[in-house]
Amino acid sequence: MRPGEERPVEGGVCAVVSELELLKLRAAERIDEAAERLGALSRAIWSEPELAYEEHHAHRVLTRFFEREPPAASWAVQPHYQLATAFRAEWEPPGPRAAPRPLHLGFLCEYDALPGIGHACGHNLIAEVGAAAALGLKGALEGLRGPPPPVKVIVLGTPAEEDGGGKIDLIEAGAFKNLDVVFMAHPSQENAAYLPDVAEHDVTVKYYGKAAHAAAYPWEGVNALDAAVLAYNNLSVLRQQMKPTWRVHVKELPILTKKAEDCFRAAALATGCTVEIKGGTHDYYNVLPNKSLWKAYVENGKKLGIEFISEDAMLKGPSGSTDFGNVSFVVPGIHPYFYIGSNALNHTEQYTEAAGSQEAQFYTLRTAKALAMTALDVIFKPELLERIREDFKLKLQEEEFLNSVE
């Protein structure tokens, strides 16, 4: 019997359950079986927070987790994959390889922390979700009767989301080149299949003035603070002229960047200061939604008791920025948000505490189950995979159109 077929369930009158649903149950069971190890993994990362590109402890904990995941040597692990603190772990079902190219499904882990307040964005839980979902999918496929499907499960450890953009480094290194669909989930105050994370360009501005005696000959001085104040006022005025899309779309970002830099330079010109403007290493792109993928995720999540905010609230909800946005421009993917049992806000000490709590474990593993179940849908529902790919193409085209008419 293959996934998608139905069979009677003992003890039920005319009750049927599909093989696919049984696989989903097995995925959830596998995650529950590994709950203690997964919780220990999360706590090990949470207890020793590390900043971007310095996540050596987290890297070691995660690679050992997959190297030792039973049965022994079932994952092919590449430590220090393209970056010192990135890794790649791969698994394929045993047995003869089918003729078609395997479907490559990626699960992404983040694990960098914030200066001073540790895992206040819950990246330890993102690492746990990625690892747990991959384990759940692997466990389900291991229990499949008959020839295994042509699929490869890939876990990517992606450092430096908070500062630098490790996923962008990995994109440039070709790490996402052969992936078909990617999955990850981010802790929040609510359950949302999608939030409109926006594009971001980081910039550091320094003004240089000249000291002088404030009472005797102030005219000899050049006040760098005045330049900073004027720059603030200039940006405040600019905000009135910002189009709504300038908070979202990638190709509008250079236009807004130039306007902001003109504000900085104008302040320097007005005060006689010199100015140094230095952009960040990478720009973060806005996250492209994939509605077919998020609908499948919501359907699976609801079976597990997840209560999602409405689509209207989702599209109008608060947002931040993430280097997953760049990933969403090169491969279809999903980046849902999940409640962890606390109303504390991300990037606060209270959220650090919540991210390390035992209560967060239930919600984290429930989200991992929903991701694993959605991955099974992608494998065994070819029509869903086609819709996901079509959504991806249409969103890319729409992005191009929106930017062309601005």
CA angle 153, 72, 125 (to 5 degrees): 55
- Tell me how far apart the alpha carbons of residues 344 and 357 are, in angstroms, rounded to a whole number: 13
Give the closest residue to 127 by CA, choosing from 175, 87, 170, 84.
87
CATH 3.90.1150.10 fits 203-279, yes or no: no
Structural domain boundaries of the chain? 6-197+285-405, 203-279
Torsion angle (degrees, nearest 10) of CA 116, 122, 128, 134: -130
Q: Say how many CA atoms lie within 13 Å of 306 toward its Cβ.
A: 30
Tokens 């699976």 belong to which residue?
300
pLDDT of 1 above 90? no
- Tell me how far apart the alpha carbons of residues 308 and 369 are, in angstroms, rounded to a whole number: 15
Q: What is the reported pLDDT for 198? A: 85
Q: What is the reported pLDDT for 15? A: 39
Strands (E), 16-86: 16-18, 76-79
**Any idea which of 9-13, 150-154, 307-311 has the lowest mean pLDDT?**
9-13
Q: What is the pTM (predicted TM-score) of this model?
A: 0.88
Please compute the mean of the pLDDT values over residues 32-52 and round it to a whole number: 98
Q: What is the reported pLDDT for 72? A: 64
Question: How confident is the model over 316-354, as pLDDT tens digits?
Answer: 876 789 999 999 999 999 999 999 999 999 999 999 999
Please compute the mean of the pLDDT values over residues 39-62 and round it to a whole number: 98
Please compute the mean of the pLDDT values over residues 65-87 and round it to a whole number: 92
Q: What is the reported pLDDT for 283? A: 93
End-to-end CA distance of the chain: 53
Q: What is the reported pLDDT for 216? A: 84
pLDDT of 3 above 90? no
DSSP secondary structure letter of residue 49:
-
Q: Who has greater pLDDT, 171 or 72? A: 171
Please compute the mean of the pLDDT values over residues 245-273 and round it to a whole number: 83
Please compute the mean of the pLDDT values over residues 37-63 and round it to a whole number: 98
pLDDT of 406 above 60? no
- Tell me how far apart the alpha carbons of residues 303 and 372 are, in angstroms, rounded to a whole number: 13
Q: What are phi and psi of 24, to 5 degrees?
A: -65, -40
- Tell me how far apart the alpha carbons of residues 219 and 69 are, in angstroms, rounded to a whole number: 70
Q: What percent of the chain is helix, strand and coil (3-state, nearest 5)?
A: 45, 15, 40
pLDDT, mean over the chain: 91
pLDDT band at 400 (very low <50, low <70, confident <90, very high): confident
pLDDT band at 240 (very low <50, low <70, confident <90, very high): confident
Q: What is the reported pLDDT for 220? A: 86
Domain 6-197+285-405 sits in CATH at 3.40.630.10
Q: Cα 272 to the chain's mean position, in Å?
A: 43
**Any idea which of 6-10, 94-98, 116-120 has the lowest mean pLDDT?**
6-10
Strands (E), 240-349: 274-279, 333-334, 337-339
Tokens 């603190």 belong to which residue?
85
**Any idea which of 61-65, 77-81, 140-144, 387-391 has the lowest mean pLDDT?**
140-144
CA distances from 294 to 104, 179, 297, 311, 319 (A): 18, 18, 5, 11, 17
